[in-house]
Amino acid sequence: MDGACQIDDAMIETHETDASDDSARGDGPHSGPYEGDSHHQGDSTPSIEPVRVVEAILFASDSPLPASKIANILGVGDARDVKKHIAALNAQYESVGVSFRIEEIAGGFQMMTLSAYNTWLTKLLRAREETKLSPASLETLAIVAYKQPATRADIETIRGVAAGDMLNRLRELNLVKIVGRAEDLGRPLLYGTTKHFLEVFGLGSLEDLPQVEVLKSPGATPVARVENPPETLPEDAPSEEPPQLRIAEGA
């Protein structure tokens, strides 16, 4: 019996020793945040180095930026420090083997791709030019999108000009397609938009098109509508003469 009591006492002492050790480390079930937790909880935002800010500024800019302007935006250091940051970034880019560098052009700095990639970039630029829509094409496409299915006559009535070439161009770009024929005389073709149209303009469906009221200029003044216009006077009706000015004598 005494031996059992001694074993139980030893087990209790061992458990208390382990619990005290856990509390000291902050691992206990009732322990509060330890010193390491304050670092994780208080420093939720990682520290941002100035060199990364310079990189972000140049990445977002579409034109060369002088070092002095970058320094003003950065708010730390001067133009000399900015140039050091740029040199460090270029060294990192070269060591990693990325396809661009920060070049000094036109009195400023700008991110530019290396000349070794010109072959593929030329194809990209050519494709962008081929898919670029003119204002006339956009007008025609908008009419088709909102009026579909629409005939060529419907589009020309709204625009006031011929729409054949514009429709052919939009069909080549896979933005417009023939969806059927109208029941009118001659059974003209009906045009509608394609799935590619939704992809290009980031629409889930045609229901996501902006409402016409939203597209109106917010500052536009509505035109007053005359419900009961005045009757037209007959041609032989006497017209009111404007009042004559009299010049006082001696004036």
Q: Do the first three CATH levels of 50-116 and 135-214 match, i.e. the same topology?
A: yes
Q: Using the Cα atoms of residue 137, residue 143, residue 149 and residue 151 in order, give the sign of their dihedral.
A: negative
The CATH classification number of 50-116 equals 1.10.10.10
pLDDT at 246 over 70: no
Tokens of 101: 């560098």
- The 10s digit of each residue's pLDDT in 204-226 is 888 888 887 654 544 444 444 44
90 within 8 A of 98, measured Cβ to Cβ? no
pLDDT at 244 over 50: yes
Please give the Cα distance from 220 to 2 (Å, whole number): 99
What angle do helix axes 164-172 and 152-159 make, rounded to 10 degrees? 120
Q: Using the Cα atoms of residue 12, residue 18, residue 24 and residue 28 in order, give the sign of their dihedral.
A: negative
pLDDT of the residue at 78:
94
- The 10s digit of each residue's pLDDT in 21-72 is 544 444 444 444 433 444 444 555 568 999 999 999 999 998 999 999 999 9
* Phi, psi at 182, each rounded to 5°: -80, 160
User: Which of 1-5, 46-50, 87-91, 148-152 has the least mean pLDDT?
Assistant: 1-5
Domain ranges of the chain: 50-116, 135-214
pLDDT of the residue at 47:
82
Topology annotation, domain 135-214: Arc Repressor Mutant, subunit A (1.10.10)
Tokens of 12: 């209790």
85 within 8 A of 50, measured Cβ to Cβ? yes
Which among 43, 51, 103, 125 is positioned nearest to 82, based on CA atoms?
Answer: 51
